[in-house]
Amino acid sequence: MARLKKIRKAILPVGGLGTRFLPATKTMPKEMMPILDKPLIHYAVEEAIKSGIEEFIFITGRGKTAIVDYFDRSYELNETLLKKNKLDELNLVNELVLLPGKMSFIRQQEPLGLGHAVWCARNFIGNEAFAVILADDLIFSDTPCLQQLIEVYNEAPGNIVAIMDILKDQTGKYGILDTNKREKGKIVDAYGMVEKPSPEKAPSTLAVIGRYILDASIFDFLSKEEKDSTGEIQLTSAIDAMAKDVPLKGVRFLGDRYDCGDKAGFLEATIRVALQHPEIAEKARDIIKQAQEIKV
């Protein structure tokens, strides 16, 4: 029996326009918006590294050079901090500098959806199974969410997606796992996925969030460039089409997920980080307490 290959590569689609955060995202990539003192993309890459990922493929768009710069060395800043003996700050700005050959940046020339973004990385992935991480989904957990998926993959290879239980009236916001089993355990076997179904048509209330382990054969399906009614190539559709040949499992991950593509979710995540930050946690509690007394 062939030895299972380690999940080494991760695709991070970061080409979106971030229209829900305009005007801030007119000049700043939404992935660079800070949750207190670290940008969203920092948390995503940090999770991937903790999960054993070795190579990072960023799918970018116009105006995203700040992301490239963030994972590079800033010699001028390093020199200034060193001269001022600000060694803690120096360590902070260099903790996620990725080594040469460990990161690639690919321009998604047209905003044709998540499936198209993943397809753009096909030549960098080859025939290996790989991870996809959406930075908008910020997840705090003792064991990184991606690592939880990799552990399931190592036991039963196939397409593995992170899922969470949602209310019936929320199905139109997510890709929904297609399963007729009312399984309550951590791992759920599925027949496929449906992209944003109406509540009356949703096959379950198990929503897929932004963490995936995918078999490389998905590129065969994405290469067909089949677009949905919005003109986009959906990753969900490709995963669904594969399900009869490649096992599909959903993993109810352990952790707290914040939708940072939404203003309320972004604020909630920022508050959580502030309340746990060693420097300002006490001040943050005072600010929240004072805010509760403000009459609106």
pLDDT for res 226: 74
E strands in 4-145: 9-13, 34-35, 38-39, 55-60, 103-107, 130-133, 137-140
Model-wide pTM > 0.75: yes
CB 76: neighbour CB atoms within 10 A? 8
Contacts of 165 (CB under 8 A, 6+ apart): 205, 206, 207, 252
User: What's the confidence (pLDDT) of residue 228?
Assistant: 72
How many Cα neighbours within 13 Å face the side chain of 123? 4
Residue 234's H or E segment, with its range, is none
The answer to whether the CB of 207 falls within 8 A of the CB of 164 is: yes
**pLDDT value, residue 26:** 85
Q: Radius of gyration of the chain from Cα atoms?
A: 20
Q: Which ranges of 223-280 would DSSP assign to H, the alpha helix?
A: 235-242, 263-276
User: What type of residue sits at position 290?
Assistant: Q
Spans of all domains in the chain? 9-161+207-255, 262-296
Measured between alpha carbons, how far is 250 from 241 in angstroms, rounded to an integer?
Answer: 16
Cα–Cα nearest to 53, from 9, 13, 14: 9
The per-residue pLDDT string of the chain (296 residues; one tens digit each, 9 = 90 and over) reads 345 678 999 999 998 877 888 888 888 889 999 999 899 999 999 999 999 999 999 999 887 888 888 888 788 888 888 888 888 878 887 777 777 778 899 988 887 889 999 999 999 998 999 999 999 999 999 999 999 999 999 998 999 999 999 999 999 999 899 986 666 778 999 998 998 999 999 888 999 999 999 999 999 989 887 777 677 888 999 999 998 899 999 999 999 999 999 999 999 999 999 999 988 999 999 998 888 877 66
Q: Cα–Cα–Cα angle for 279, 283, 287, nearest 5°?
A: 145
> Which tokens hold the place of 28?
């700043």
Identify the pLDDT of residue 274.
94
Return the CATH number of the domain spanning residue range 9-161+207-255. 3.90.550.10
